[in-house]
Amino acid sequence: LTSHCTGHYSFQSYLNKIFKIQTIANAHYNFKLYYEYLFYNKDPFISISDFDLFYDKFASLISKKCNFIILNRDPISALKSALNFRMSNSKISNQIYNSNDMLNFCKSSIYYPFHPNNQLNIDNLKDYVDLSVFKDHLFVQHTLIQPLQDKILKSFYIDTKNIEINNIESTLTSLAYSFNFPNFDINEFKSQAYNLVAYLFPFYYFYKNIKITIKQKNYLHDYTDYKSLEDISEIFLKLNIPLLENIQILINPKDYQKLKHNEQFNIFFNEITNILLIIDKHFKKEDKNQIKEYEILNYLKTNFSTRIKIKNILKSHLLHIKQHRPDIVASWKYYQEFEKMCKELDG
């Protein structure tokens, strides 16, 4: 159970791997879908992260006590992720034939749904907090947990920083002990499930009619079966591009054998290298341009109405975690600065 922008997609992808099932998530409480999922899966788990008109009915149909993993994040950091949220432009072809195609693909495929001119701008925070997607998705933990109070068998509280790559091993080990997880290989969780350029993947590069699939390793909603393809990512690791830890470069094994024993191989290698360098440059640009937490805090300092709206909604959203894990709340750097600001400016 969580709100959006807490890393829940990444966490779901980890649980999918451990239990070897596909999570039900954001199905808008489609009761038939949930029933079938629970009926056919031995170790089911459901992600609860949205509030809508059917939520209370959904909660009332839970007939026995369940274990809950409750994911939390500094709300100012969650707000940052929401404002930076990007999607792929479905109208843009993901078939790439040369470096120029890749450059155009990076420029054209990005779509910022909460920024009308498709340019990140902190001033759009004012309008964002009035959207239903903010009210029903971002700060809804207390709203979601209220009707479930008598359904909780055991709770395990996690902060988003505990599912980051450096901490995921200890977190999953603790969860495995508490919730009796099946055995799993921790090495499968050493790559990010989401990053700033996730919307680019998968795409397909064609070298002399040979199709190369470039995809993200742990993307939650990619249901394609890639078993027939060979992963050749390792031959590019010497390029020292950090993103290579999170993506796979896949090719038909027969095509790869032909390329390996052909004088064209160096040209092929250089072409893929150029593609990867373009993605890396695009990633760095996205990282530089994204809205930061301190920009949000500075904006809220001088915008009373938006500050008060966020303050009031957080008052409800954080009730449960403040009661059960005040230590997690105390560790949130940006939220503590926000609370201090509100006391100084609003009394």
pLDDT in tens, 137-173: 888 888 889 889 889 888 889 999 999 888 988 999 9
Q: Out of 33-37, 76-80, 305-309, which region has the weakest mean confidence (pLDDT)?
A: 33-37
Per-residue pLDDT, averaged over 237-241, amounts to 86
Q: Out of 131-145, 200-214, 286-300, which region has the weakest mean confidence (pLDDT)?
A: 131-145
Judged against a pLDDT cut of 90, whether residue 128 lies above it is answered with yes
Quick one: pLDDT at residue 24? 59
Judged against a pLDDT cut of 60, whether residue 26 lies above it is answered with no
Higher pLDDT, 115 or 263: 115
How many whole angstroms separate alpha carbon 74 and alpha carbon 115? 23
For residue 55, give both structure tokens.
């939520």
Rg (CA), the chain: 22
Quick one: pLDDT at residue 1? 84
Quick one: pLDDT at residue 22? 66
Q: How confident is the model at residue 42 (pLDDT cuts 50, 70, 90)?
A: low
Reported as type and span, the H/E element at residue 214 is strand 210-216
Conformation bin of residue 64: beta by default, left when phi > 0, alpha when psi is -120 to 50: beta
Per-residue pLDDT, averaged over 22-34, amounts to 61
How many whole angstroms separate alpha carbon 72 and alpha carbon 321? 8
How many whole angstroms separate alpha carbon 66 and alpha carbon 39? 16
Quick one: pLDDT at residue 29? 55
Q: How confident is the model at residue 199 (pLDDT cuts 50, 70, 90)?
A: confident
Quick one: pLDDT at residue 192? 67
Judged against a pLDDT cut of 90, whether residue 245 lies above it is answered with no
Residue 318: CB atoms within 10 A of its CB come to 20
How many whole angstroms separate alpha carbon 286 and alpha carbon 282? 6
Quick one: pLDDT at residue 180? 84
Quick one: pLDDT at residue 191? 66
Q: How confident is the model at residue 57 (pLDDT cuts 50, 70, 90)?
A: confident
Bridge-based pairing of strands 110-111 and 152-159 is unpaired
Q: Which long-range contacts (CB under 8 A, 24 or more apart) does 238-243 make?
A: 239/273, 239/276, 239/277, 241/276, 241/277, 241/280, 242/280, 243/195, 243/197, 243/276, 243/279, 243/280, 243/283
Q: Out of 99-113, 209-223, 298-312, which region has the weakest mean confidence (pLDDT)?
A: 209-223
Reported as type and span, the H/E element at residue 157 is strand 152-159
